[in-house]
């Protein structure tokens, strides 16, 4: 029995199905993540600038999203970071089709800027590196809510963002190379199970 073509919207809507699943992918199914990465790279390939055009986040919020993703997964000597892996594009694409993500992430970015203005007099991106680190340290741990209940939205936002950034990073080519995954292999012969000690 053949199934009709699946639309972009259908695939992106399916991305929220696995939100409560506890697996390596914290938020979305692997096949949907691969499809999202493929859509992004296809868009960049046909773009005149070769760049991704954000679908949901306004320019300033998208810059903040990029900065946060790069803080979560910075580049190092062995691997590119979240920006090179396309995690911000991945998150924006998913968010563009999911009202719950829009509320959590869009509202969370507004909360972050507002909290930084209250505390430091500037939006997150205009804060010093030390102030940014201090703010993220405050919302990186659930126990922070015990000392300051006003951080609850920020803590929930940052936890969700970390999970989505991890999904975006580790399902990208860069993330898969970073993990050293070489694919499924096969054995030409089965040597049997190793002996059980003491039996």
* pLDDT (tens digit per residue) in 39-94: 899 989 998 998 999 999 999 999 999 999 999 999 988 889 999 999 999 999 99
Question: Is residue 173 situated within a structural domain?
Answer: yes
- Please report the pLDDT score of residue 11 as a whole number: 54
Question: Is residue 199 situated within a structural domain?
Answer: no
Taking the model in full, what pTM does it have? 0.79
Question: Is residue 184 situated within a structural domain?
Answer: no
Find all residues with CB under 8 Å of 50, minimum gap 6, and list them.
44
The alpha carbon of 58 is separated from its chain's Cα centroid by a whole number of angstroms, namely 18
- Please report the pLDDT score of residue 192 as a whole number: 79
Q: Tokens 């979560």 belong to which residue?
A: 72
On whether the CB atoms of residues 69 and 94 are closer than 8 A, the answer is: no
Question: Is residue 60 situated within a structural domain?
Answer: yes
d(CA 77, CA 5): 42
Question: Is residue 158 situated within a structural domain?
Answer: yes
Predicted confidence (pLDDT) at residue 21 exceeds the cutoff of 50: no
Q: Which two tokens stand for residue 128?
A: 């010093």
Which of the residue ranges 17-21, 127-131, 181-185 would you say has the lowest mean pLDDT? 17-21
- What is the span of the domain harbouring residue 60? 8-179
Question: Is residue 192 situated within a structural domain?
Answer: no
On whether the CB atoms of residues 58 and 116 are closer than 8 A, the answer is: no
On whether the CB atoms of residues 18 and 25 are closer than 8 A, the answer is: yes
Question: Is residue 70 situated within a structural domain?
Answer: yes
- Please report the pLDDT score of residue 2 as a whole number: 37
Domain count, the chain: 1
- Going by pLDDT thresholds of 50, 70 and 90, the confidence category of residue 25 is low
Q: How far is CA 151 from CA 105, 135, 164, in A?
A: 15, 10, 20
Summarize the confidence of residues 85-108 as an average pLDDT: 94
Q: Which two tokens stand for residue 143?
A: 């126990």
- Please report the pLDDT score of residue 140 as a whole number: 94
- Please report the pLDDT score of residue 54 as a whole number: 95
On whether the CB atoms of residues 37 and 25 are closer than 8 A, the answer is: no
Question: Is residue 114 situated within a structural domain?
Answer: yes
């Amino acid at each position: 029995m053949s199934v009709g073509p699946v639309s972009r919207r259908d695939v992106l809507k399916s991305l929220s199905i696995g939100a409560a699943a506890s697996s390596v992918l914290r938020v979305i199914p692997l096949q949907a993540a691969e499809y999202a990465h493929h859509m992004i790279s296809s868009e960049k390939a046909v773009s005149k600038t070769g760049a991704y055009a954000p679908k949901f986040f306004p320019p300033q919020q998208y810059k903040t999203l990029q900065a946060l993703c790069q803080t979560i997964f910075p580049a190092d000597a062995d691997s590119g970071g979240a920006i090179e892996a396309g995690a911000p594009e991945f998150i924006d694409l998913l968010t563009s089709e999911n009202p719950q993500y829009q509320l959590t992430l869009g509202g969370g970015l507004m909360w972050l800027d507002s909290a930084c203005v209250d505390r430091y007099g500037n939006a997150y991106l205009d804060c010093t590196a030390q102030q940014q680190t201090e703010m993220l340290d405050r919302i990186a741990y659930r126990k922070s809510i015990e000392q300051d209940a006003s951080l609850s939205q920020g803590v929930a936002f940052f936890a969700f963002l970390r999970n989505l950034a991890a999904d975006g990073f580790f399902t990208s080519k860069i993330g898969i190379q970073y993990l050293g995954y070489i694919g499924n292999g096969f054995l030409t012969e089965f040597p049997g199970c190793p002996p059980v000690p003491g039996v």
